[in-house]
Structure 1
Amino acid sequence: MDQHARRRGARAARSHGTVDVEHGATADPRRGSAAAEGAAGTSGTARTSGTSKTSRLAAMTERVPATVAWPIIAALAFGLFTIFRTHTAGIKGGPALLYGVAAAVVTGVLGLLIARYQSSMLTETRALSYGALFGLSMGWVYSLGGETILKSCIFGFVMGGIMFLSALYLFRARSAHEPHGAHRPRQPHGTHRRRLPAATR
């Protein structure tokens, strides 16, 4: 009697799609595959969202060229340095912030102009432009600490010279990417042969 009841219960369970796992029966494979597909879909959605965010950041980075990003970053850093310099000199609060904002705006605009037109400059002119901007900026900030005009001019001249030499070395090292092409070495005298027409040879 018990056997008969068990058989009827098993048939009913199979007809309703439920299986007792405790008695050694296996679960419905279709349900397992559906759950696996759902988990895979969730992880795939998360990966897709992460990839889309990364691609958006990469696209935003590509939209802003280096000739715009670097002058802005340098101007912000210089503005913060100006605020720090004025704080150490005793100027605090609103005036120090005003000095920093003015320094960031002026140097940022000049840096963007140099970076915008640097492709039409010679290598030496470009390095001199960056050196002059850096030297004038550092000399002005140095004068905010109460230093004399002579000391500030000497300090700015030295810093500008260092920047000029560094920029010149960097541009010469990347001479293959210069707008006027690589610097061609001089050929020895007498190596140039004058080409004559074929009939006169």
Structure 2
Amino acid sequence: MDQHAERPGARAARSHGTVEPEHGATTAARDRQHALEPAKGLGRRIPATVTLPVITALAFGCFIIFRTHTAGIKGGPAMLYGLAGAVVSGALGLLVAHFQSSMITETRAASYGTLFGCAMGWVYSLGGEAILKSCAFGLTMGAVMFVASLYLFRTHRTREPHDLHRPHKHHHRGARDHRLPVATH
């Protein structure tokens, strides 16, 4: 028996047929040892459906603080606007991201467009703009987000939850074919 193969992390010669741990293979003893140890330095990975809405909400909150501060609202009220906007947009973003896998492409794009358009229209109104102008700006931004997300979802179909945008089957058998069983005489 090779004396070097018994040491943890040691590498035996290739001709011996022993396991080389640096290539991903482990021995049974090492498997048992690693199964009992907690993973060191490896935190649980947070999914993108959680991290992206949270990061976006924080950036949106900072943008609200900037927008209200330049409009003349100083200090605490600007921070409260930013905090409220971040919490509401983050919660709605998490909700859309959670349920996006069960939505068809157009509904998913419309939900992202609606969320973005409402958020941008509200922030635009914080600068002292008229309500009608803010609504028009929000509607425009929502339409831009709808088109952009629809394009993105349709061009990246490998991640589509419903295959290739639910293709329709074309039947050219005749006008009487309604998938009824064939009559027997």
Q: TM-score, normalised by structure 2?
A: 0.69
CA contact (8 A) 2:105 2:165 kept: no
What's the secondary structure of 1:164's corresponding residue?
helix
Q: Alpha carbons of 1:190 and 1:73: their partners in 2 closer, same or farther (altered >3 Å)?
A: same
* Partner-residue secondary structure (3-state), 1:159: helix
Q: Distance in 2 between matches of 1:69 and 1:140?
A: 24
Residue of structure 2 in register with 1:104 after alignment: 86
Q: Which has the higher helix share?
A: 1
Residue 187 of structure 1, CA deviation: 5.2
**Distance between the aligned counterparts of 1:74 and 1:184, measured in 2?**
31
Equivalent position of 1:34 in the other structure: none
**Separation of aligned partners in 1, 2:104 and 2:75:** 43
> Shift of the alpha carbon at 1:188?
5.1
Instruction: Give 2:107's match in structure 1, choosing from 111, 125, 134.
Output: 125
Which blocks of at least 5 consecutive residues in structure 2 are unaligned?
Answer: 1-39
Please list, as runs of the form range in 1=range in 2, the aligned pairs for 1:25-174 lying within 5 A after superposition. Answer: 56=41, 59-60=42-43, 63-174=45-156
Identity of aligned residues (%): 65
Deviations 1:47-85 (Å, cap 9, x if unpaired)? Answer: xxxxxxxx83xx43x620000000000000000000000
2:158 aligned with 1:176, yes or no?
yes
Q: For the residues of structure 1 that align with 2:127 and 2:155, how far apart are their CA atoms?
A: 37
Structure 1 position 183, deviation (Å): 2.6
Deviation per CA, 1:22-54: give whole Å up to 9, x if none. Answer: xxxxxxxxxxxxxxxxxxxxxxxxxxxxxxxxx
Q: Matches of 1:118 and 1:145 in 2, distance apart? A: 32
Q: Cα deviations across residues 114-150 of structure 1 (Å, max 9, x unaligned)?
A: 1111111111111111110100000000001110000
SS in 2 for 1:151: helix
Q: CA deviation at 1:152?
A: 0.1
Q: Is the 2:119–2:138 contact (alpha carbons within 8 Å) kept by the matching residues of 1?
A: yes
Cα distance in structure 2, aligned partners of 1:185 and 1:67: 27
* C-alpha displacement of 1:191: 7.6
Q: Could you say what secondary structure the match of 1:63 adopts?
A: coil
- For the pair shown, the structure with the greater C-alpha radius of gyration is 1
- Cα deviation digits, residues 156-192 of structure 1 (max 9, x gap): 0000001111111111112232111123544554389
CA separation in 2, counterparts of 1:182 and 1:188?
15
Q: Distance in 2 between matches of 1:71 and 1:191?
A: 49
SS where residue 143 of structure 1 aligns?
helix
TM-score, normalised to structure 1, is 0.63
